[in-house]
Amino acid sequence: MTLKLQIPPLNLQSNSKKTSVHDTLDRQLHDLRLSVIDRCNFRCNYCMPQGSNPSRYSFLHEKEWLTLKEIVRLSTLFAQLGVSKLRISGGEPLLRPNLAELIHQLSLIDGIEDLALTTNGSLLSQQADSLKKAGLNRITVSLDTLDPQLFKRINGHKGTVEQVLKGIEEAVRVNFDCVKINVVVQKGINDHHILDLVEYFKGKKPILRFIEFMDAGNCNNWKAQDVLPASEIVKIIHAYYPIEPLKPNYWGEVASRYKFMDGSGEVGFISSVTQPFCRSCTRARLSTDGKIYACLFSPHCTDLRKLLREGHSDEALLNLILKVWQSRDDRYSELRPQIRASHVQSAKIEMFQIGG
């Protein structure tokens, strides 16, 4: 296959500082989520429920993973197209061998201004220091409850709250620019633990972010009635700890930010189900085996690893990435009600394959 880089291709705008590539809804390619491993040491009921694997999905063989060199090469190309933020995710990214080395190499890419990672925190106390020294700027740790029994029930009896809190403490100690805590709220499961989490983290460095339970993948048995709307979570918190909205830090920020009115910090809400933010979604996603996805819920992908391993040039790869982004029209969360009602939904990528 011969692919020629179209210079300047349709919608590719360039000034002396930065290239920008826009999709069909005029959303600029700005962020890249990298899934560096599809395996995980947890089995969260909303992501990879116990028993759902490997019957529906076989974990990738190591040979199928993009190598560190391939990840760095593709990230460099994405940076040339205007990506300045990288988020490393998984599966559980701290299980990926030589992760600190990868982070170091990614931090050296021209144009990458922000390097973040999302982890379940179970191995963080051992790795936080080396990740920080390697050049990681920000870290997000997932923690859905402080209750040890419930925590185990949610994650398939694989880890402990104690390990995760130790990881968070270490992340604070090594002084990441920002430490966030992701809480997926499932109605009737952990919604009565929201205030405990607020009480624990209020006034401390980590910023809590409550996330609506999403219909990611095909195996979490999602039902609309299991979603506690972010507006309800705001009310629950506000009744005990008054909060008020803050301006976004930047256009397209995923979380709506609120500050505690007593000055003890802030809290965020990610309302992908009840208040979709597709119109400002500037994120491309790369799976562990090098497939690019234009949306977290997309059944479609484009294989970049094939081109890499067939020895194609950077131009050919750039051209393919451009083609994917410039033809992007995804807005699943906006269309969710119609898509689900139609019962013709194609199988989606799983969250652990694509990294949240």
Tell me the site size for ligand SF4, rule CB under 6 A. Answer: 25
Cis peptide before 8 (omega within 30 of 0): yes
Using CB under 6 A as the binding rule, whether residue 117 contacts ligand SF4 is answered as no
Using CB under 6 A as the binding rule, whether residue 82 contacts ligand SAM is answered as no
> Which residue, 34 or 308, is less far from ligand SF4 as judged by CB?
34
Both tokens of 224, joined, read 């609309």
Using the rule CB under 6 A, give the single segment among 115-123, 126-134, 229-237, 250-258 that binds ligand SAM. 115-123
Axis-axis angle for helices 124-134, 161-173 (nearest 10): 30
Paired strand residues for 183: 210
Cα separation, 105 vs 99, in Å, equals: 10
> Which residue, 282 or 353, is less far from ligand SAM as judged by CB?
353
> What residues from 140 to 199 belong to the interface with ligand SF4 (CB under 6 A)?
142
Select from ligand SAM, ligand SF4, none the partner in contact with residue 287, using the beta carbon and a kind-dependent cut-off of 5 to 8 Å. Answer: none
DSSP string, 167-190: HHHHHHHTT-SEEEEEEEEBTTTT
Q: Which of 38, 37, 34 is nearest to 54 (CA)?
A: 38
Closest CB 355 distance from ligand SF4, rounded Å: 8
> Which residue, 287 or 319, is less far from ligand SAM as judged by CB?
287
By rule CB under 6 A, what string of x and - marks binding of each residue 333-352 to ligand SAM? Answer: ------------------xx
> What residues from 120 to 159 belong to the interface with ligand SAM (CB under 6 A)?
120, 142
DSSP string, 151-167: HHHHHTS---HHHHHHH
Select from ligand SAM, ligand SF4, none the partner in contact with residue 271, using the beta carbon and a kind-dependent cut-off of 5 to 8 Å. Answer: none
- What residue type is 222 in one-letter code? W
> What residues from 310 to 339 belong to the interface with ligand SF4 (CB under 6 A)?
330-333
> What residues from 9 to 68 belong to the interface with ligand SAM (CB under 6 A)?
40, 46-47
313, burial (CB in 10 Å: exposed 0-12, middle 13-18, buried 19+): exposed
Q: Is 133 helix (H, G, I), strand (E, B) or coil?
A: helix
Query: How many C-beta atoms lie closer than 10 Å to residue 226's C-beta?
Result: 18
Using CB under 6 A as the binding rule, whether residue 44 contacts ligand SF4 is answered as yes
Cα separation, 46 vs 128, in Å, equals: 26
Closest CB 35 distance from ligand SAM, rounded Å: 8
Using CB under 6 A as the binding rule, whether residue 297 contacts ligand SAM is answered as no
Both tokens of 185, joined, read 């709220």
Using the rule CB under 6 A, give the single segment among 14-22, 237-245, 293-301, 340-348 that binds ligand SF4. 293-301
Using CB under 6 A as the binding rule, whether residue 102 contacts ligand SF4 is answered as no
Query: How many C-beta atoms lie closer than 10 Å to residue 97's C-beta?
Result: 11
By rule CB under 6 A, what string of x and - marks binding of each residue 192-211 to ligand SAM? Answer: -------------------x
Cα separation, 96 vs 48, in Å, equals: 18
Both tokens of 21, joined, read 């590539």
Closest CB 224 distance from ligand SAM, rounded Å: 13
Using CB under 6 A as the binding rule, whether residue 268 contacts ligand SAM is answered as no
Residue from the set 90, 159, 206, 268 that interacts with ligand SAM by CB under 6 A: 90
Contacts of 308 (CB under 8 A, 6+ apart): 66, 70, 73, 74, 290, 317
Select from ligand SAM, ligand SF4, none the partner in contact with residue 297, using the beta carbon and a kind-dependent cut-off of 5 to 8 Å. Answer: ligand SF4
Both tokens of 31, joined, read 């962020």
By the 8 A CB rule, do 276 and 334 touch? yes
Binding footprint of ligand SAM on the chain (CB under 6 A): 40, 46-47, 89-90, 92, 118-120, 142, 182, 184, 211, 213-214, 216, 220, 351-352, 355-356
Binding footprint of ligand SF4 on the chain (CB under 6 A): 40, 42-44, 47-48, 90-92, 120, 142, 272, 276-278, 281, 295-297, 330-333, 351-352
